[in-house]
A and B are shown apart, each in its own frame.
Chain A
């Protein structure tokens, strides 16, 4: 297949190397990159505030910290419209199946941020009532420590997740 040289990402490559890229599916890798970039820019979290961390999450979404700077201000009440779950607070044993059901209802692709030490590992609630780490129920992408984490920490977690989404974008 003849390769047309384009300015930009093929720069610095010989014709043979570009030919090799084509065989490896360069078209789709570029599409992956574009899709990852698009997904990163507009991520809709499902409202899943469970405890005091939810207050910090709401503060993060409100005017002062303003999550809409990263296209994330649109907290959806329906999991069908969301692709990110911020588990903000301790998950009780009885809430566990509910959380999993909401996660299952979210369309692919989807991501999970475990916000605060309670959601990440049970935190101070080492007792019978609280799930000791939400990663026993759903797969977690980013853990944000803190009790509760400040909005800056949540934003850092979100930016970390966006970097992950951008760099590991897979068209599926």
Chain B
């Protein structure tokens, strides 16, 4: 695949699976790599279509951020994966390059607890501001949670007495 060959020149750890090109990037190189992928006229990844995380408890690194890139000019896609350790769940913010990353990073922080350094306003975006925990981590408890409302706390119906 031509795209994979081109990307592999910059990022040696590039695989092709089901016609999808995925590259693994170190956390400290992320901003620089994204910038160069965006500037290169042959690649021109000018759109960050999605940014999310996956959780693999027990593995190292535990969290993998994935950045889904798209080039409007060339109509090709690339996925960057960044491993983030459990003890230090941080990553550099890419909002300066892609403003759309603003809310995506807030959502990833909200649900996985990965903090993005340099983000202009890293708050929770979907859950209430006073929420405790990060519910899409696989170590979080499944099932309904208590209704915490005006100081009261009511358990879900199957745990009520």
Residues of A within 8 A of B (CB): 93-94, 96-97, 100, 121-122, 125-133, 136-137
Would you call A96 and B156 a contact (CB within 8 A)?
A: no
Would you call A133 and B157 a contact (CB within 8 A)?
A: yes
Would you call B149 and A132 a contact (CB within 8 A)?
A: no
Would you call B149 and A100 a contact (CB within 8 A)?
A: yes
B88 contacts partner chain A, Cβ-Cβ < 8 Å: no
Q: How far is the CB of A90 from chain B (nearest CB, A)?
A: 11
Task: Give bound CA distance, A136 to B152, whole Å.
Answer: 9
Near A by CB (< 8 A), chain B positions 113-161 give 126-128, 131, 135, 140, 142-145, 147, 149-150, 152, 154-158
The main secondary structure of chain B at its interface with chain A is: loop
Would you call B147 and A133 a contact (CB within 8 A)?
A: yes
Given A97-B149, A136-B149, the answer on whether A121 and B126 have CB atoms closer than 8 Å is: no
The 3 closest A-B pairs by CB, nearest first: A132-B156, A136-B147, A136-B154
Nearest-CB residue, chain A, relative to B129: A94
Q: How far is the CB of A132 from chain B (nearest CB, A)?
A: 4
Would you call B144 and A126 a contact (CB within 8 A)?
A: yes
Q: How far is the CB of A55 from chain B (nearest CB, A)?
A: 24
On chain B, the number of residues with a Cβ less than 8 Å from chain A's Cβ atoms is 19
Q: A121-B157, A128-B140, A130-B144 are in contact. List 11 more A-B contacts (CB 8 A).
A: A93-B147, A96-B149, A126-B158, A127-B142, A127-B144, A132-B144, A132-B154, A133-B147, A133-B154, A133-B156, A136-B147
Would you call B127 and A132 a contact (CB within 8 A)?
A: no
Given A127-B142, A133-B147, A137-B147, the answer on whether A94 and B157 have CB atoms closer than 8 Å is: no
Nearest-CB residue, chain B, relative to A125: B144
Q: Which residues of A contact B147 (CB under 8 A)?
A: 93, 96, 131-133, 136-137
Nearest-CB residue, chain B, relative to A121: B157
Sample of 11 A–B contacts (CB below 8 Å): A93-B128, A94-B128, A100-B150, A125-B144, A127-B142, A128-B135, A128-B140, A129-B135, A130-B144, A132-B155, A133-B156
Would you call A127 and B157 a contact (CB within 8 A)?
A: no
Task: Give bound CA distance, A94 to B125, whole Å.
Answer: 11
Q: How far is the CB of B23 from chain A (nearest CB, A)?
A: 33
